[in-house]
Amino acid sequence: VFDLSGIESKQKKVLIGGLLAGFLMGRLKSKALLVVDEGWMFTQFSSLMQLLADISRRGRKRGVNFLFLTQRPHDVLRNEAGRTILEQSATVLILRLNEASLSAIREIYSLSEAEEQALLEAQPGEGILRAGSYKLSIYVQPTREELREFSTRPL
C-alpha cells in the first residue's frame, strides 16, 4: 500500500503515482489490486495516462484488478487514454453526478433518461452499478465502523 496523501504538490503526487504504477505493472505476475484515486489529476500528463490505459488493458490478462477512481469523469473523458480506461472498465460504479459529468458519460455508458435523472437526484451512496450489459440501481451504506475509519466526515 502506497499512500500519497501526505505529498502536498500535485505534480509530485502524479509523478510518484505514475512511477509506482509503471513499476508495479512490471512486477505483477499474479492476482493483485491496483487503485488509482483522484484519477483526474493524471489527465494533464498524457504519458502517465497512457501508462494507466495500458494497465487497464493488459492488467486483466495478468489478474490485475484495476480501480480507477475519479469525481471528475468529464476531465478523464477529454483525454484519449482516459476514455480508453473508462471504455475498458468491465464494471463501473456511478454515483451522484452533476450535469457536466453526466453529459460526459451519457454516451459511453448508454444511460437511459431515467438513469440520468436518478444520478442527478441521487443522495450520497446512491447510484448505478454497471457490469457488462447489466445495470443495477444500488445504495451503498457503510457500517458505523467503516464510516469512522474511511470517511472524510466520520460520525
- In tens, the pLDDT along 55-77 reads 788 777 777 788 888 888 888 88
- Residue at grid coordinates 509503471: 22
| pLDDT for the residue 2 | 66
Side chain identity at residue 110, one-letter code: S
Q: How many CA atoms lie within 13 Å of 155's alpha carbon, on the beta-carbon side?
A: 8
| pLDDT for the residue 101 | 84
Report the mean per-residue pLDDT for the chain. 82
- What is the band of 154 on the pLDDT scale with cuts at 50, 70, 90? low
Q: How many CA atoms lie within 13 Å of 21's alpha carbon, on the beta-carbon side?
A: 29
What's this model's pTM, rounded to 2 decimal places? Answer: 0.72
pLDDT (mean) for 136-145: 90
- What is the band of 14 on the pLDDT scale with cuts at 50, 70, 90? confident
pLDDT (mean) for 110-127: 92
The answer for residues whose C-beta is within 8 angstroms of residue 22's C-beta and 6 or more apart is 51
pLDDT (mean) for 9-20: 77
